[in-house]
A and B are shown apart, each in its own frame.
Chain A
């Protein structure tokens, strides 16, 4: 194998710098039958990094349920999973992280994260029609956190808005644990007809391989390997060159061109160049098709002078696609690229050798068996051990915690707490309306969008798709990472349960799940335990709600000198709503409506009465401990089924689940979250009477986070019917009040909450804006 004069010699230090163990190096030698050269070492290093190969988590991920009769493309098969939604239509969706780049350069890190996940969707042949994201930062009192937060949000806005996709759902958490290591998880969903599914396989010996998109530069060099290292001051500074710069306008053109191209039938295989760019796309497509690929780097468009083969193969320049074209149909392809004024180049061809061969102006630069490289990274069974801190967590009791003396003040504080407060400061920077399909915009439990004819990618020969009634898709993303930290298994179950609950509140039935596992160093047995147990919890949750995992992402090594982040397995779920009449939102609708609590007010078996790990305990009592509330998945599913039936019967006017902040916060939000227009909100008061509920503690009753509870409002004439129907289905139901006046009044046996809703609204709506206005 040729080595260029500048290539450094392969030394143990160089191998280690590439994140490879001596053992892994030995494997590489075995596969090649010789030592790798410098370029080949770089190639293995990125393909066998955690980000690309999941070598530390593959075994755990096998525990996820991944099948259902609606799954058309399953987890692990391609770049994104695909689920049938009826009438010959399907949706492709996935979530992915871009944590480390966002810590270094928040705007571009977040922007390119959005770009990357959008590509994963249209590479499957689907038209991207919705985006959402889950963001985590440190506390907003820290100016550095405010800088990262502002940068990430404007980066997401910049990319999504310019590309033209509505970013219509999301969650944002603020916790000290993320101070040195913010999390940016970006999700995208696309639509297509069954027959439009495209595969990332290099099929057809002799077929030409095309490159489309901007020229390759030095951006993102070894980004995948970068993502697999702990973040320190030094690594951040060094890696400044590693952050990619995105161009959403270019991506929009590339997408339109690719969808037009796919409609011609001239494409044999297509894959985006994401992490590990040219390397990943060439070996993965070859591996999937059991073929080989040969490319010549001299043909790859380059925009930086004197790029080495190593740099070209590992570059993560954005908005590039690899397209395997059916031989003889090159002209059709070129015509479409020219129409959209896109740079393109024919860079290679498909072979039958099963090897990925890279040349540079004819001389060999790398020669690696594709399957070994793409599919046979080592798999590790890491050691796991229950963390020492969990003992104290289990032993925590409420004995040392005095009950609240001013629940009104507590409620006010909770509503203003950034994690609970309205996120309008964020989502008003996102175009959440483009494409004219947003039915429920950000601000309710789940976002809802419609699918209509123009949501589809173009069909062959300008055909029209068979007509179909508009479809309604609901989206939610959730994870209470504090629960996962305190009890990884239960926390994992709850992340899924909460997602499904949010979907149920919008009238939707879950279809499938995608997960982004954000954890710390897997070599630490205590941290690996968190990973293992939360994945078990997630898996059980997905099974309970019939929402198989269609794919996802793992991001490890999320820690900083201050320590590891709380384990954060973000869950995004997609559901289907049968009819537009079933679409339900979380705010009260009319004076006089009756307010009903579905579910047990307090879990009698929970010694902490729902306060373990709660927002109230953290914010008001300064404690981040205690076993989180338990979730009974059977009970939870029954609650969702019952609510959906009530919604279908036309009996429910609003539905909102109880989560952070408990019942009081859920009630307040139901009163204050109906936003009509700029400066114009439709606020309702409520008279709530909880005196019939037995509780030894008022704080637990008002702010405890007992699971499986939903607050609904119904027309006065339907109150009794709804309660009776719920009880028949085995769901506890009790009328707790009615929508009335302009104050929120919650009476309990001992103390009351009483506040004008306008004041509560102001605290909740403006909290984050005020925090960000301070320089």
Chain B
């Protein structure tokens, strides 16, 4: 597989994403500078974490207008797989590729800690290989991870099975104390309606090797790779 990992001024987890894809899973992953107009021939796009444009104005607000984002829109519209992590999730929401928005953590502080994620649906390219009934222990690291969408949108997400992950406690309970940032319905990640674009606030790329304390996050990337490989009329890039 060939992955594009976007790089905006201020992105800081692009190497983390390249590392998991290339060195841990053995695929090809290339950095794509935000000023480029074309993604090239890729199987999937990762929009990584960081503070693109210093989070000025609103997080992700400026990055979504970068030249490369036009091609990302085209890629997504034609069914291409896009995964936004943390700042990437924020950029995809600003770009209208995902519903809802991310606002400041309820605690008003940056939060870096491991959390448990309950996978809400296995019916997606990003969760297909996550073992049933397991919780993933992955870290968050963000100041603006509180997911918001209006009631209609939230209900839509529920009805159309677009909620991917929710913050839970060690036993799978979607409790308030398990929620690190105030996200509505403990939502940590969502899918778009056509099920090819996803975003999540936690960092599965920082939980993909046992040496790092947890390898639970690896399943997210493995799901994506598996789904790409099994697409109808698949042509590896």
Q: What is the interface of chain A, defined by CB distance below 8 A to chain B?
A: 154, 157-158, 161-164, 247-250, 252-253, 340-341, 427-436, 438-439, 441, 450, 452, 454, 580, 676-680
B57 at interface by CB-CB < 8 Å: no
- Point out the residue from B9, B54, B141 that lies within 8 Å of A248, measured CB to CB: B54
| Residue from A432, A441, A677, A679 whose CB has the most chain B CB atoms within 10 Å | A677
How close is B117's CB to chain A, nearest CB, in angstroms? 10
Can you list 7 A-B pairs, Cβ within 8 angstroms, ordered by A? Answer: A158-B110, A162-B55, A249-B55, A431-B141, A436-B206, A454-B15, A580-B211
| Pairwise interchain contact B15-A436, C-beta atoms closer than 8 A | yes
- B99-137 to A contact mask, C-beta < 8 Å, 1/0: 000000000011111111000000000000000000001
Cβ-based interface call for B218 (8 A): no
Residues of A within 8 A of B180 (CB): 678
Task: Kindly state the separation between the CA atoms of A303 and B111 in the bound complex, as whole angstroms.
Answer: 35
CB pair A676–B114 under 8 Å, yes or no, is yes
| Distance (whole angstroms) from the CB of A580 to the closest CB of chain B | 6
Task: Enumerate B21-52 residues with CB–CB distance to A below 8 Å.
Answer: 23, 49-51
Chain A: minimal CB distance from B23 (Å) = 8
Q: A249-B54, A436-B16, A454-B15 are in contact. Are A428 and B112 (CB under 8 A)?
A: yes
How many residues from B make CB contacts under 8 Å with A?
A: 40
Minimum Cβ distance to chain B for residue A131 (Å): 13
Whether A429 contacts B178 by the Cβ 8 Å rule is no
Q: Hey, which chain B residues are within 8 Å of A253, CB to CB?
A: 9-10
A338 to chain B, nearest CB (A): 11
If A428-B113, A435-B15 touch, does A164 touch B50 (CB 8 Å cutoff)? Answer: yes
Are B10's CB and A679's CB within 8 A? no
A119–B213 Cα distance when bound, in Å, is 31
A424's closest neighbor in chain B, by CB?
Answer: B113
C-alpha gap A609/B76 in the complex (Å): 70
Q: In the complex, are the beta carbons of B112 and A430 less than 8 A apart?
A: yes
Residue of A nearest to B20 (CB): A436
CA distance A676 to B214 in the complex (A): 10
Residue of A nearest to B171 (CB): A680
B212 x A436 contact (CB < 8 A): yes
Smallest CB separation, A155 vs chain B (Å): 12
Neighbouring B residues of A157 by C-beta, 8 Å? 109-110
Contact A438 B54 (CB under 8 A): no
- Return the chain A residue nearest B139 by Cβ: A433
In the complex, chain A residues whose CB is within 8 Å of the CB of B114: 676-678
A-B contact count (CB 8 A): 111
A433 partner residues in chain B, CB cutoff 8 A: 112, 139, 141, 203, 206
**Residue numbers in B under 8 Å from A435 (CB-CB):** 12-13, 15-16
Residue of A nearest to B51 (CB): A162
Residues A252 and B15 in contact in the complex (CB < 8 Å), given A161-B143, A677-B116: no
**Nearest 5 interchain pairs by C-beta:** A164-B12, A249-B54, A436-B16, A677-B114, A454-B15
Residues on A with beta carbons closer than 8 Å to the beta carbon of B9: 249, 252-253, 340-341
**Once the chains are docked, how many angstroms separate the CA of A679 from the CA of B176?**
11
Partner of A434, one of B13, B55, B111: B13
Tell me how far the C-beta of B67 lies from the nearest C-beta in chain A, rounded to whole angstroms. Answer: 13
- Type the 1/0 row for B132-163, where 1 means its CB is closer than 8 Å to any CB of A: 00000101010100000000000000000000
Contact of B10 among A162, A428, A432, A676 (CB under 8 A): A162
**A272 vs chain B, min Cβ distance (A):** 20
Contacts of A452 in B (CB 8 A): 19, 23
Q: Are B137 and A676 in contact (CB under 8 A)?
A: yes
**In the complex the two chains form, is B18's CB within 8 Å of A164's CB?**
no
Closest to A441 in B: B213
- Whether a CB of chain A sits under 8 angstroms from the CB of B205 is yes
Distance in angstroms from A718 CB to nearest chain B CB is 23
Instruction: Judge whether A431 and B112 touch: CB under 8 Å.
Output: yes
Contact call A249/B10, Cβ cutoff below 8 A: yes
Give Cα distance in the complex from A204 to B169, angstroms: 63
A contact residues around B205 at 8 Å (CB): 436
Bound form: Cα–Cα A639–B177 in Å: 43
Is B170 interfacial (CB-CB < 8 Å)? yes
Complex: how many Å from CA A250 to CA B141? 21
Q: Tell me the complex Cα distance, A163–B10, Å.
A: 7
Query: Known contacts A164-B10, A428-B112, A678-B114; can you find 14 more A-B pairs with CB under 8 A?
Result: A154-B110, A164-B50, A340-B9, A341-B9, A429-B109, A433-B112, A434-B49, A435-B12, A435-B13, A435-B16, A436-B20, A436-B212, A454-B19, A678-B177
CA distance A580 to B213 in the complex (A): 12
Whether A680 touches B169, Cβ cut-off 8 Å, given contacts A428-B111, A438-B212, is yes
User: Contacts A249-B9, A429-B111, A430-B112 known; A678 to B15 CB distance under 8 Å?
Assistant: no
> In the docked arrangement, what's the CA distance between A430 and B141, Å?
8
One of A161, A250, A252, A678 near B110 (C-beta < 8 A): A161
Look across to chain A and name the residue whose beta carbon is closest to the beta carbon of B17: A436
A461 to B232, CA, bound (A): 40
CB pair A678 B53 closer than 8 Å: no
Q: How far is the CA of A410 from the CA of B169 in the complex (A)?
A: 33
Chain A residues positioned under 8 Å from B54 (CB to CB) = 162, 247-250
Asked if A429 and B112 sit within 8 Å, CB to CB, the answer is yes
Q: What distance in Å separates the Cβ of B32 from its nearest Cβ neighbour in chain A? A: 14
**A744 and B53 alpha carbons, distance in the complex (Å):** 50
Cα distance A249–B12 when bound, in Å? 10
- Are A679 and B141 within 8 A (Cβ)? no
A427, closest chain B residue (CB): B112
Nearest Cβ on chain A to B88's Cβ, whole angstroms: 14
Contact status B10-A434, CB under 8 Å: no
A679 with B178: CB separation less than 8 A: yes
Are A164 and B51 neighbours in the complex by a CB distance under 8 Å? yes
Q: How far is the CA of A309 from the CA of B206 in the complex (A)?
A: 49
